Amino acid sequence: MTADDEPRWRVLVAEDDEDLRVAITAELTATGLRVDEAADVASADAALSAGHHDCVVFDRMFPDGDATEYVHRRRQSGWAVPVLFLTARDSLADRVAGFEHGGDDYLVKPFAVAEMTARVLALCRRSGAGRPSILRHADLEMDCARRQVRRGGVLLTVSDKEFAVLEYLLARPEQAVGRSELIEHCWDSSTDPMSNVVDVVVRRLRLKLREPELIHTVRGRGYRLAAGRQDS
């Protein structure tokens, strides 16, 4: 499978074994996913609180806690992101406990990375199943399933990154969205938050969307998708 076969879903890999975490991250990235990493429950919680993820790969045991207990607490508050637990515990009771605490899948170590990747992709598809397939604002329309963008009925050619930024803005019409928020959602964790990558992509989008302008600059805050003239 190549990066062109799947949407740019975002996954968090929470694993305290650095070698395994790096191997999983490399495989998922090669598949076309955007991957964030965490080495303990605290950093996983910070990552999940900071941005949207379509799936989480959770080692079960960390020095600072049991991931099943963390997931169970998050589920009680309505958190619905799919979770794949990785663990050396292979008894039936352990597997059942993983599901009872909010896990969606359970993979016992050692495992084939290819199988883990297939399971993650399946969970990402499930995560996206409940989202609107069509996003609209004014005369702009995005078909998320077909990954097509039209303005005034005219099909536009956009890159993966332009699509990701526009999708994020379209899901939040009339809201000011910060550059750091866009980087957090549309780029991976290695991107420098002080870089101008967001401005470059927005500039390209504005050229492709043409007039009247839809993406407006909000001074000191970022960008807003809105029809009509805006104070910036």
- In degrees, to the nearest 5, what angle opens at C-alpha 122 toward C-alphas 104 and 37? 75
- Which tokens is 199 given? 């401005």
The answer to whether domain 3-128 and domain 134-225 are alike in fold is no
pLDDT at 192: 63
Do residues 24 and 113 make contact, with C-beta atoms less than 8 angstroms apart? yes
Name the CATH topology of 134-225.
Answer: Arc Repressor Mutant, subunit A (1.10.10)
Q: Which residues contact 149 (CB under 8 A, 6 or more apart)?
A: 140, 141, 142, 143, 155, 156, 158, 163, 166
Query: Using 50, 70 and 90 to split pLDDT, how confident is the model at 41?
Result: very high
d(CA 232, CA 212): 15
d(CA 28, CA 80): 21
pTM confidence score: 0.57
Q: What rounded mean pLDDT belongs to the chain?
A: 84
6-15, 25-34, 77-86, 129-138, range with the lowest pLDDT: 129-138
Tell which wins on pLDDT, 50 or 74: 74
Best CATH choice for the domain 3-128 from the list 3.80.10.10, 3.30.930.10, 3.20.20.60, 3.40.50.2300: 3.40.50.2300
* Domain boundaries of the chain, sorted by first residue: 3-128, 134-225
d(CA 60, CA 102): 12
